[in-house]
Amino acid sequence: MSDLSPYLAATPILDHGHPRVLVLAAEARAAGAAGRGLLIAAHRLIAARVRPVYALDDEQPASRTLLRARGSCSQRLAVLEAVSRACGIPTRVRGLLVDGRFWHVRADLGRFVARDVLFREHGQTVCRPVRVAVDPVMSRYAASAGKAN
C-alpha cells in the first residue's frame, strides 16, 4: 500500500476531526507512546470511559459514542479506529458473517477501507427501522451484566 490516504480519511462513522475524538487522541498521545503503544493507551482510555452495552446502530459516529459514554463492541472499536486515524495510524476493517455460534465464521466478506464501505456494500444484520426503534432500549443494557443502566 503506497497511498495510505484512504485508510487515514475521516468518514461519517470515523469522524476523527470531531473535537471529542481529537481530545481523546491528544490524551492518548500524552501517554508518551507511539504506534502500538499509543493504540494501547487509547484502548485503555476508551475502556475506562465508554461503557460496553448492547447497541444496534453500527453506523453511529465515533464522536456520538464518546458523547453517550456507552457503545457496542463495534461502536467502541470505531472510536479506537477514529483515534488511530486522528493520530496518523491507518486502519481498515474486515467483514465476517457469523452463524449462530459465537464468532464461528460462515463467510469472509473481505477487507474494506472503512466500516462505512462495508455497511454500504453489505448492510447491517438488523434493518434500519428495527435499529431505530430498538436501539434506544437495548443500548441501556450493559453487555457484561445484562442489566439496564
pLDDT of 103 above 70: no
Q: What is the pLDDT of residues 80-98, one digit of tens each?
A: 999 999 999 999 988 877 7
- pLDDT confidence bin for 60, thresholds 50/70/90: very high
* DSSP three-state, residue 124: coil
Q: Is 137 exposed, middle or buried (0-12, 13-18, 19+ CB in 10 A)?
A: exposed
Band of residue 1 on the pLDDT scale cut at 50, 70, 90: low
pLDDT band, very low/low/confident/very high, at 140 (cuts 50, 70, 90): confident
The burial class, CB within 10 Å (0-12 / 13-18 / 19+), for 141 is middle
Q: What does the domain layout of the chain look like in residue ranges?
A: 5-138
Q: Is the pLDDT of residue 102 over 70?
A: no
Distances (CA, A) of 89 to 8, 16, 27: 7, 12, 16
For residue 147, the model assigns a pLDDT of 52
Interatomic CA distance for residues 94 and 113, integer angstroms? 9
Q: Residue 115 has what pLDDT?
A: 84
* Alpha helices, DSSP H, located in 1-149: 5-8, 19-30, 36-49, 62-68, 73-86, 115-122, 128-138
- State how far the alpha carbon of 81 is from the alpha carbons of 24, 112, 128, 140, in Å: 12, 13, 23, 23
Residue 50 scores a pLDDT above 90:
yes
